[in-house]
């Protein structure tokens, strides 16, 4: 199997974390994809050009980090990272969606800043900045939830990926305004899978 990623994508990072958590390092080759480039050979593998993309040995493949992580849950060792949304009376599904919305906004914001300055939308940047700041207030409370404190799951990992993506792509530390988030982050950040998949800081 081949997992196509970029090293800065928080979505691809979730799949890379799952590989390590499930002991699949020897079964999945991680390949850096060339995305957002005209004529990239990656588009012959995945026409959408998105990452992560898991290429199976039978010529088929699929994208979406949640789906890929669920597949790794199925074939790997150890407890699953993707829990049923109805777990704990739908609390897992609620928190997972909340974390996904946070990382989606961070991704939109960082993509906007990668545009040439003359092509950036101040309205989009202002909207995503305000949304992220609202999420910090929300997560200051939600990180105390038992689902966010217990065994690692994709809701936890998605929130961590959002925070790390903001730090690398936006130079924003969303642990700084909240002691609760900072303590929560430090608990998870030392896991070997988190350390090994940390995105390189820009030069």
- Residue intervals in the chain for CATH 1.20.1050.10: 87-196
What pLDDT, on the 0 to 100 scale, is given for residue 201? 63
Across the beta sheet with 2-5, the strand order is 29-32, 2-5, 53-55, 61-63
CATH class, domain 87-196, is: mainly alpha
**Mean pLDDT in order along the chain per 10 residues (203 residues):** 96 98 97 90 93 92 97 98 98 98 98 96 98 98 97 97 97 97 97 94 55
Question: What is the 8-class DSSP label of residue 76?
Answer: S
Structure tokens at 59: 């010529």
Residue 187: exposure state from Cβ atoms within 10 A (0-12, 13-18, ≥19): middle
Whose tokens are 């196509």? That residue is 4
Domain(s) of CATH 3.40.30.10: residues in the chain: 2-75
Q: Could you tell me the pTM of the whole model?
A: 0.95
Please name the helix (run of DSSP H) or strand (run of DSSP E) that holds residue 62, with its range, or none: strand 61-63
Give pLDDT, residue 39: 86
Kindly state the tokens that stand for 152: 């690692």
pLDDT value of residue 202: 56
- Supply the pLDDT for residue 36: 85
Looking at residue 201, what DSSP letter applies?
A: P
Task: Find the Cα–Cα–Cα–Cα dihedral 83, 161, 50, 81, rounded to 10°.
Answer: -20
In whole angstroms, what is the distance from residue 142 CA to residue 50 CA? 30
| Distance between CA atoms of residues 96 and 193, nearest Å | 19
**What is 2-75's CATH superfamily?**
Glutaredoxin (3.40.30.10)
């Amino acid at each position: 199997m081949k997992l196509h990623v970029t090293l800065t994508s928080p979505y691809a990072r979730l799949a890379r974390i799952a590989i390590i958590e499930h002991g699949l390092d020897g079964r999945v080759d991680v390949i850096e994809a060339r995305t957002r480039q005209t004529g990239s050979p990656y588009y012959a593998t995945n026409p959408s050009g998105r990452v992560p993309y898991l290429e199976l040995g039978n010529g088929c493949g699929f994208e979406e980090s949640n789906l890929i992580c669920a597949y790794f849950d199925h074939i790997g060792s150890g407890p699953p990272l993707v829990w049923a949304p109805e777990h704990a009376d739908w609390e897992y599904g609620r928190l997972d969606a909340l974390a996904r919305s946070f990382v989606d906004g961070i991704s939109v914001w960082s993509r906007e800043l990668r545009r040439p300055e003359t092509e950036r939308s101040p309205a989009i940047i202002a909207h995503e900045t305000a949304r992220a700041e609202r999420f910090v207030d929300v997560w200051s409370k939600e990180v105390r939830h038992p689902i966010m404190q217990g065994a690692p799951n994709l809701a936890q990992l998605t929130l961590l990926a959002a925070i790390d993506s903001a730090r690398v792509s936006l130079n924003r530390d969303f642990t700084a305004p909240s002691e609760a988030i900072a303590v929560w982050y430090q608990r998870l950040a030392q896991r070997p899978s988190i350390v090994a998949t940390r995105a390189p800081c820009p030069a």
